[in-house]
Structure formats: structure tokens, C-alpha cells
Amino acid sequence: MVRRREEALPGQRSERRLTSIEGGRGVEQRAPREADPGAAPDTGQEVRGPVREQARMWHVVLSVAGAATPLPELRTALEKLAHDHSFFLTARYAADHAEVRYWEEARDLHDAAAIALRLWGEHKASAKLPAWEIVGLEVVDRPTYHKRVAEGFGDPPPQLGGVHPY
């Protein structure tokens, strides 16, 4: 599966789809059930699905490692990943490990972590990423991230944006 931003039609807004939520944005509340000749008798109650949940932003740090890879190839692959993935912040790399930082939009921590754990594998072929394994994952909500930065902990990397060697 390739995750890309969908292009908006003229006069419409481009929205990001969440892969782990049915329909991409949660299930809308449904209107009262219409009379259907084959349906069970109407009890007068509305048929409702789950209430739409608001997506939140999560700061993700994904650490991967594996066999040494030539640095020019690795840099090119990480730059391709940065181009393909929305909300990409920065990546740091060495011949045998890398760290990718980005924002993810998801309804809860579980969804954000699940998406993050699939990121490397889903882009491995398209971005020509090395066959490395995920060795670390940190996912925090936006207020926690900003609180850490304000308190002097968890500072953003010195070079924000782009792909840089350690």
C-alpha cells in the first residue's frame, strides 16, 4: 500500500485518509432508517454508527537498523521517503542505522503507532529503503511534545527538515 496525499479537485480541500479508520475518516452518524420493504419492522429508533472521532497529531520517532548500506544510496532512499510521506520532519542516518521524525495524524495512540510500524515496510520498495528492522519507536501527542521542548527535554534535532548524516 502506498500512502500519498490525494489531490483535491478544483474548489475542494485535499484531505488525508487514515488507513486504520473505516472509510478513511471514521464513520459518520447515520440518518433515520428509510422504509425498506425487505427490512425488519421499524421500531422508531434511529440507526446510528459510531460517532466520528476527531483525529489528532502525534509526533513519531522511528529508529531502524541493519546491515551497512552505502551512504549515497541510503540518503537517496530517505529523501524519497521524505517526498512520499506527508508531515515528514527530518531524518538522520549512518551506514547501519537511521532515525526518522515526522508528524502522524490519527485518532489515538494505537492507530498512530500502527501506522508508524508499517511505514518502513510499506515504503521499502518504492523508496528503495534497506531491509532494516525497526529497533525503536516513540509516539507522543502534540501537547506532550511541545511541553518537552518548552522544558528543554526532547529538543528537536539541530537540523530540522531534510535528510542529514549523524
Give 34-79 pLDDT, tens digit per residue: 444 444 445 455 445 555 568 899 999 999 999 999 999 999 999 9
Q: What is the pLDDT of residues 76-85, one digit of tens each?
A: 999 999 888 7
**Confidence tier at 124 by pLDDT (50, 70, 90):** very high
Predicted TM-score (pTM) of this structure = 0.66
Name residues whose C-beta falls within 8 Å of residue 152's C-beta, 6 or more positions apart in sequence: none
pLDDT at 22: 44
Q: In the predicted model, what is the mean pLDDT of the chain?
A: 76
Average pLDDT value for residue range 9-33: 42
Three-class SS state of 12: coil
All three cell numbers of 122, joined, read 510499506
Q: Which helix (H) or strand (E) holds 83?
A: helix 71-84
Say what the pLDDT of residue 88 is. Answer: 83
Listed in sequence order, the residues at least 6 apart from 119 whose beta carbon sits closer than 8 Å to its beta carbon are 62, 85, 100
Contacts of 127 (CB under 8 A, 6+ apart): 77, 78, 80, 81, 84
Mean pLDDT of 106-113: 96
35 dihedral zone (left: phi>0; alpha: psi -120 to 50; beta): beta
Higher pLDDT, 51 or 162: 162
Classified as helix, coil or strand, 55 is: coil
